[in-house]
């Protein structure tokens, strides 16, 4: 299908941050836009704010004043909803209340021709439910922009039960013509991003609650080892705990209490205390301190320098994903000796004398040491790029001596990496987070919410993940990811960590999500 022509008038309902942002996107694409808000003067204020935002770009040399004037000329404020009658597409961006949204679209249906397309920017409500009482629900879809709409690239086109394929494709083409990265999703709780992203917050919260480490350290590991732009705690502080907790509760309730989406008591306590993050001055971190002279930001709890002479590094088995780590070791002048693996499952082990180093596989070090008959065992975490990672998480079995721990610390420090010791926790930090993100994305594909390609694209464009979760799982090997999830479920004895059937099937068949 073709995009709507620029001659088509776009109506936007709601002149708050999201509505004004969407109106700006459409006007910048060349459309005449009518911005309506039922609060007198709100639409004018919204357009004035758009002008101020654009003129800042002029001041920075990123736009001309003529361009700004042209965009503003295409924006028309309207206090009355009747002004939207001739719009070709109307996008609603008002309060997240199902009854109010239904009332608005009922009014629009009485005003507009049957050719007018209706879209809601809802992030949590069912498109099927919003459209249910319309005479023509087939013309209704979700058009979910991310805040701030002029900056964030992703748009989810969400089809309800009645939405026609033609409507979905027209909206897809239109958003694409507006310069957006567009994905298709079906109307299920959380759509793609707000569903698949839940483990990013949930695993961090659980690790904190279990005392694996502190928030600043966990953030640093996911940021500097995992490659994520922000850690979960600084991100939740930025979003606001009231908002993030409400989305988690919404998805959890919508999936009838599925434990994969279970809210955290740690975050609930912050909401109860009014510690909502940056906007309240306090969340996981105290932002009031930023205003004080000499304030020091919380830092990760890294191990002090270890002065230990390292023996040759013996590599048993094919290094696979950790090959770049061994390249770093060789570049430092460390003697690296390669040998065949003695393990039936092909597991790669690194040895420094009697100490065994191994990539985590979802088991805690204590369990793995018992299972494999090892005395001194240190597990290390997954890194997005072992060549450039500046920090790494470690854990040790209970019988591992302090001298062996020092040797492990010294090894990674020699590679130029800060070592962080966690309590002995299954899957450490990056590995368990990536495995759970991939697992949730796999279930979304299995249930027809999105394709594997759109799922990955949404997480990269919508929340700036360094790699799509399913592509990441493919690169690690689906059997390894499935084994990690199985070990996590065995460790905790909870359904929360059950492997998606689709991921399990592909792992057993030695397939991938991106053939």
| CA distance linking residue 377 with residue 254, whole number of Å | 42
Helices 478-492 & 469-476, crossing angle to 10 degrees? 100
Q: Is 371 noted as a catalytic residue in this protein?
A: no
Assess contact for 26 and 10: CB atoms under 8 A.
yes
Q: Of residues 36, 144, 241, 482, which has the active-site annotation?
A: 144
| CA distance linking residue 421 with residue 286, whole number of Å | 24
Query: In 332-477, where does DSSP find H-type helix?
Result: 365-372, 402-414, 430-446, 452-463, 469-476
Q: Is 144 noted as a catalytic residue in this protein?
A: yes
Distance from chain centroid for Cα 134: 34
| CA distance linking residue 379 with residue 276, whole number of Å | 35
Burial class (CB in 10 A: 0-12, 13-18, 19+), 366: middle
Residue 492: CB atoms within 10 A of its CB come to 12
Q: What is the dihedral of CA 371, 334, 408, 326, to 10 degrees?
A: -60
Q: Of residues 92, 109, 156, 203, which has the active-site annotation?
A: 156
Q: Is 156 noted as a catalytic residue in this protein?
A: yes
| CA distance linking residue 262 with residue 249, whole number of Å | 8
Contacts of 257 (CB under 8 A, 6+ apart): none
Query: 3-class DSSP state for residue 351?
Result: strand
Q: Is 92 noted as a catalytic residue in this protein?
A: no
Q: Of residues 87, 120, 121, 194, which has the active-site annotation?
A: 194
Q: What angle do CA 133, 39, 191 make, to 5 degrees?
A: 45
**What distances in angstroms separate CA 503 from CA 16, 217, 454, one per listed residue?**
41, 30, 17
Helices (H) and strands (E) in the chain, counts: 20, 15
Q: Of residues 120, 123, 126, 395, which has the active-site annotation?
A: 123
Catalytic site residues?
Answer: 123, 144, 156, 194
């Amino acid at each position: 299908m073709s995009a709507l022509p620029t001659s088509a008038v776009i109506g936007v309902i709601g002149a708050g941050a999201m509505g004004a942002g969407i109106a700006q996107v459409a006007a910048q694409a060349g459309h005449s836009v009518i911005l309506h808000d039922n609060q007198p003067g709100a639409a004018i204020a919204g357009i004035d704010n758009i002008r101020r935002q654009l003129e800042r770009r002029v001041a920075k040399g990123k736009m001309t004043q003529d361009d700004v004037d042209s965009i503003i000329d295409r924006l028309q404020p309207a206090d009355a909803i009747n002004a939207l009658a001739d719009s070709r597409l109307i996008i609603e961006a008002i309060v997240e209340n199902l009854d109010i949204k239904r009332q608005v679209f009922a009014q629009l249906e009485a005003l507009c021709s049957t050719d007018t397309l209706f879209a809601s920017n809802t992030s949590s409500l069912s498109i099927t439910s919003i459209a249910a009482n319309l005479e023509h629900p087939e013309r209704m879809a979700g058009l979910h922009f991310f805040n701030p709409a002029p900056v964030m690239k992703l748009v989810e086109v969400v089809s309800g039960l009645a939405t026609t394929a033609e409507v979905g494709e027209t909206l897809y083409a239109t958003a694409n013509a507006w310069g957006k990265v567009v994905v298709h999703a079906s109307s299920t709780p959380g759509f793609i991003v707000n569903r698949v992203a839940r483990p990013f917050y949930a695993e961090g919260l659980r690790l904190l609650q279990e005392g694996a480490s502190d928030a600043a350290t966990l953030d640093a590991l996911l940021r500097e080892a995992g490659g994520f732009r922000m850690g979960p705690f600084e991100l939740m502080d930025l979003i606001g705990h009231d908002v993030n907790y409400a989305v988690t509760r919404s998805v959890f309730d919508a999936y009838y209490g599925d434990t994969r989406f279970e809210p955290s008591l740690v975050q609930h306590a912050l909401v109860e205390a009014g510690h909502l993050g940056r906007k309240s001055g306090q969340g996981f971190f105290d932002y009031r301190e930023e205003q004080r002279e000499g304030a020091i930001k919380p830092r990760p709890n890294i191990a002090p320098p270890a002065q230990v002479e390292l023996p040759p590094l013996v590599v048993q088995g094919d290094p696979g994903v950790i090959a770049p780590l061994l390249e770093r070791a060789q570049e430092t002048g460390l003697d690296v000796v390669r040998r065949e693996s003695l393990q039936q499952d092909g597991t790669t082990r690194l040895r420094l004398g009697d100490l065994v180093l191994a990539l985590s596989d979802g088991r805690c070090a204590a369990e793995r040491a018992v299972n494999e008959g090892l005395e001194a065992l240190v597990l290390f975490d997954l890194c997005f790029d072992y060549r450039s990672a500046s920090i790494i998480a470690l854990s040790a079995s209970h019988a591992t001596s302090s001298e062996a721990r020092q040797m492990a610390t010294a090894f990674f420090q020699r590679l130029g990496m800060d070592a962080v010791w966690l309590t002995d926790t299954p899957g450490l930090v990056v590995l368990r987070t990536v495995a759970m993100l991939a697992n949730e994305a796999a279930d979304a594909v299995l249930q027809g919410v999105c394709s594997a390609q759109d799922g990955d694209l949404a997480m990269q464009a919508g929340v700036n993940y360094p790699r799509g979760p399913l592509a990441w799982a493919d690169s690690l090997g689906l059997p390894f990811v499935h084994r990690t999830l199985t070990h996590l479920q065995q460790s905790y004895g909870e359904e929360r960590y059950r492997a998606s059937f689709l991921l399990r099937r592909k792992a057993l068949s030695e397939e991938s999500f991106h053939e």
